[in-house]
Amino acid sequence: MRDVLAVGNALVDVVADVDDAWLAANDVMKGVMTLVDEARAEALYARVGPAVEVSGGSAANTAAGLASLGGKAGFVGKVRDDQLGKIFRHDLTAQGVQFNTSAAKTGPATGRCLSVVTPDAQRSMNTFLGACENLTDEDIKDGEISQYRMVYLEGYPFDLPKPREALAKTMTLAKSHGVQVALTLSDSWLIARHTPLFRDYLMMGIDVLFANEQELMTLFPAADVQKAVASARRHARLVVCTQSEKGAIVSAAEETLHSPAERVSHVVDTTGAGDMFAAGFLFGLCQNMPLPKAARVGHLCAGHIIQHHGARPKMALSALLAV
């Protein structure tokens, strides 16, 4: 039995350092993900300085992190049969992730995300989805899902009709096989655009819900985050709310706990912190770790990733397990 099959957008990240003045001059909203067309993506790319290209995509990052820990991970997402698509496939499979989704022969280019990072390490993402728009329910294979303990659904594809259908099919097939379903909310603006849709998915039954504080309180408005967590727990067996440097709240039927974050001396780039926390936490669940230990593995992975540019591990994360 394999561990986690992640489903989401297949993107190549372009990471560059900027300052707040650059954000203002280029009308870029700080700290959120904004969808852009190809022309806007090219224009922004032309205005940044030196940049690093690295394969990304939220769910794909989590799959890569889980594999780096020693877990058995897979990914479903759509790329084009172009150079960036080949880079994405190579990078993911080199991490040990199974990626069997066929590349599109026609249509938009492989998607990319310009992730600009300000001196406070906040990342602002400008995403051209490209080929991601052509992920369909035909890419979701019953025989593949049945091999896994859990599917992990990324929230970003909710913006697109075809990928949204692919997520729905994944969830239906997973439940038919007794495979657990995990969902990450991904972005507060995304939640605001699709609040009724996300609530419908939660009503279908989610085993593990990941969100940061802002995302959770957008979906479940409340006086404080503890009340938002309590509301979410009515719809999910396990709720994991990350709070940046404050740590994370983990709430299940038997306990609610606060897990402190790992101390990091120098934060370079918060891109992928939530993705790596999810990787560590899911690995812990698949290894039947107690919730506090699973959360600590998540924090160790997040602490590693925020110390360099890009959202993929630069070492075998399994080495962190000895800490």
pLDDT score at 268: 82
Q: Is residue 216 part of a domain?
A: yes
pLDDT score at 215: 97
- Give Cα separations from 45 to 10, 48, 51, 120, 310 (angstroms): 19, 6, 9, 21, 16
Q: Letter for the amino acid at 208?
A: V
Question: At 319, phi and psi to the nearest 5?
Answer: -65, -25
pLDDT score at 323: 64
Q: Where are the alpha helices (DSSP H) in the chain?
A: 20-25, 38-47, 58-68, 83-94, 142-145, 161-176, 188-193, 195-204, 213-219, 225-232, 273-286, 291-305
Per-residue tokens: 222: 């409340």
Q: Is residue 40 part of a domain?
A: no
pLDDT score at 183: 98
Q: Is residue 182 part of a domain?
A: yes
Residue 80 DSSP one-character state: B
Q: Is residue 31 part of a domain?
A: no
Q: Is residue 115 part of a domain?
A: no
Q: Is residue 126 part of a domain?
A: no
Q: Where are the alpha helices (DSSP H) in 152-206?
A: 161-176, 188-193, 195-204
pLDDT score at 264: 85
Q: Which domain holds residue 250?
A: 2-10+58-108+132-322
Residue 9 near residue 132, CB atoms below 8 Å: yes
Which CATH number goes with the domain that contains 202?
3.40.1190.20
Alpha carbon distance 216, 121 (integer Å): 22
- Name beta bridge partners: 116: 16, 124
Read off the pLDDT of residues 118-131 as tens digits, 9 standing for 90 and up.
999 888 999 999 99
pLDDT score at 311: 75
In the chain, how many domains are there? Answer: 1
Q: Is residue 101 part of a domain?
A: yes
The percentage of the chain sitting over the pLDDT mark of 70, rounded to a whole number, equals 100
Q: Is residue 66 part of a domain?
A: yes
What pTM was estimated for this model as a whole?
Answer: 0.92
pLDDT score at 312: 87
Query: What is the pLDDT tens value at each position of the chain, 323 positions in all?
Result: 999 999 999 999 888 999 999 999 999 999 988 999 989 998 998 999 888 888 999 999 999 999 999 999 999 999 999 999 999 999 999 999 999 999 999 999 999 999 999 999 888 999 999 999 999 999 999 999 999 999 999 999 999 999 999 999 999 999 999 999 999 999 999 999 999 999 998 988 899 999 999 999 999 999 999 999 999 999 999 999 999 999 999 999 889 999 999 888 888 877 789 999 999 999 999 999 999 999 999 999 999 999 887 778 888 999 998 86
Sheet hosting strand 110-117, strand order edge to edge? 33-35, 123-130, 110-117, 11-17, 51-56
